[in-house]
Amino acid sequence: MTALTKQLQSFVENTTESPFSIYNLPYGVFYDSNNTTPRIGTAIGDYVLDLALLEEKGILTIGHQRLFNHDTLNVFASQGKSVWSSVRRRIQSLLSIDNQELQADQALLSSVLIPQDKITMKLPFKIEGFSDFYASEQHASNVGKLFRGKENPLLPNWKHLPVAYNGRASTVYLSGKTITRPKGQLKPPDVDVPFFAPSKKLDFEIELGVFVGVGNPDGKRIRIEEAADHLFGLVLLNDWSARDIQAFEYQPLGPFLSKSFATSISAWVVPLEALQNVMVPLPKQSPACVEYLHQPSRFLPDIKLKVEIQPRNSTHKTMICETNAKELYWSLEQMIAHHTVNHCVMKPGDLLGTGTISGLNRENWGSLLEISSNGVNPITLHDGSNRVFLEDGDTVIITGYAETPDYKIGFGRVEGMVVSAVQD
């Protein structure tokens, strides 16, 4: 294998400033008009590198198992950290300006490098399980103040364990899918009997999604010190929420119909290894965790996140929120360690949502529930219209990236347009 220069540089054009540089290399599943078979690739600049074709040609091989001619990332992700690292190093070598293996074969290069505007993306994993956490203290506090008052915004368990619930994997959708306004039972404070109607308080929630790579098929818990080795990569996640349906149904067992209708994720899965240089330390937790959640040093990736709303028939987007993944109180390792401490089985491709990520100020709050104080304080969009919750025709766009002094690591976007409730 050709040795890499100390400072990585790709021969692919326009990658130095790209969010999809040689330092990123996110994985996704795609197809194109010349080959309609879904397969695995990695984003590099404005292109996709066809990993399945490189594997077929014997240029990218790890053992004897085919890892990339699949329509999901599940098989590759199940191989474990050593394989992920080996593949990543090999791809970086192949794309390096120092390596002539691809550069010297123009016919092959034109086949394996496909412009991103010529491809169609698919859901990256077969997702059998989806669990959503509630890991941002500021978000939990904001919601607690709205519904329980300022005196005790956090419930007694919140700082002792990462609160979560099991969502619906069947309605995790790829970015771009329209979101039908859900119906359910509503009971505003001024009525005595609930009624069935479309949600009037449809909301977004800005989150990160964490994909499990290696599971625990034997049911043995994943210990905190080994938890990072089980996490494959991250996506942007919007956990759409119907706040009025949620308000009536959530006691005593939590959200159900108000969350299960749709969760949207971005197409490219950024490997956890790509984020090692943007990890930042987290404050000491108080009170101290029980032993199975204790980490001597806790880190989260410094990922800048942004939410915009674009109304129907408008070319203008209004920024609604800017926040950061480092605002989370619980680490990714603590989430999966808690999830499996009761011997719950995790599988490759299982998805964990971090829960809404909110910062200190209103402009950093990650949902309209918080920003509008549950419909009391409207926000004004660039076209002059007001919002307290989402209206039909609104498109919600979430973007995110991390950066070092030398490069960016982009996540692309997750977006979805709200359409009217089904008349049935």
Residues near 141 by beta carbon (within 8 Å), at least 6 away in sequence: 153, 154
Digit-coded pLDDT (tens) for 359-409: 999 999 999 999 999 999 999 999 999 999 999 999 999 999 999 999 999
Torsion angles phi and psi, residue 236, rounded to 5: -80, 145
Considering the domain architecture, whether residues 152 and 63 belong to the same structural domain is answered as no
Q: Are 91 and 12 in contact (CB under 8 A)?
A: no
Give the whole-angstrom CA distance, residue 305 versus residue 240. 17
Name the residue type at position 87.
V
What pLDDT is attached to residue 1? 41
Q: Of the residues 69, 96, 122, which one is the last residue of a structural domain?
A: 122
**139 is known as an active-site residue:** yes
288 falls within a domain: yes
Same domain membership, residue 353 and residue 297: yes
In a domain, 98, yes or no: yes
Give the model's pLDDT for residue 3. Answer: 47
In this structure, is residue 13 part of a structural domain? no
Closest CA to 401 of 393, 410, 392, 391: 410
By residue count, the chain amounts to: 424
- In this structure, the answer to whether residues 194 and 95 fall within a common structural domain is no
Same domain, 303 and 286: yes
Tell me whether residue 374 is in a domain. yes
- The reply to whether 284 and 364 lie within a common domain is yes
Question: Is 6 within a domain?
Answer: no
> Is the same domain home to 367 and 346?
yes
* Per-residue pLDDT at 6: 56
**324 and 346 inside one domain:** yes
What CATH code is carried by the domain that includes residue 79? 2.30.30.230
- Give the separation between CA 212 and CA 234, rounded to whole angstroms: 9
pTM of the prediction?
0.97
Residue 45 falls in which region: left (phi positive, over 0), alpha (psi -120 to 50) or beta: left
pLDDT for res 21: 97
Which two tokens mark 339? 């999830």
- Of 90, 122, 154, the last residue of a domain is 122
Domain assignment present for residue 324? The answer is: yes
From edge to edge, which strands make up the β-sheet containing 304-310? 179-180, 408-419, 395-403, 304-310, 318-324
| Tens digits of residue pLDDT in 245-272 | 999 999 899 999 999 999 999 999 999 9
Residue finishing a domain among 83, 99, 122: 122
The catalytic residue among 64, 139, 160, 339 is 139
At 335, the amino acid letter reads M
Q: What is the mean pLDDT of each run of 10 residues along the chain (424 residues)?
A: 65 95 98 97 98 97 91 98 97 97 96 98 98 98 93 94 97 98 96 97 98 97 98 98 97 94 98 98 96 97 98 96 98 98 98 98 98 97 97 98 97 98 90
Q: Does residue 388 share a domain with residue 335?
A: yes
Q: Which domain holds residue 226?
A: 130-419
Q: How far is CA 244 from CA 57, 355, 392, in A?
A: 55, 18, 16
Separation CA 211–CA 67 (nearest Å) = 17
Instruction: Enumerate the β-bridge partners of residue 281.
Output: 299
pLDDT in tens, 133-173: 999 999 999 999 998 888 889 999 999 999 999 999 999 99
- Residue 358 placed within a domain: yes
User: Which CATH number belongs to the domain containing residue 376 in this structure?
Assistant: 3.90.850.10
409 and 389 assigned to the same domain: yes
* Domains in the chain, number: 2
Q: Are residues 204 and 337 in the same domain?
A: yes
Residue 5 falls within a domain, yes or no? no
Whether 110 and 146 share a structural domain: no
Question: 117 and 135 share a domain?
Answer: no
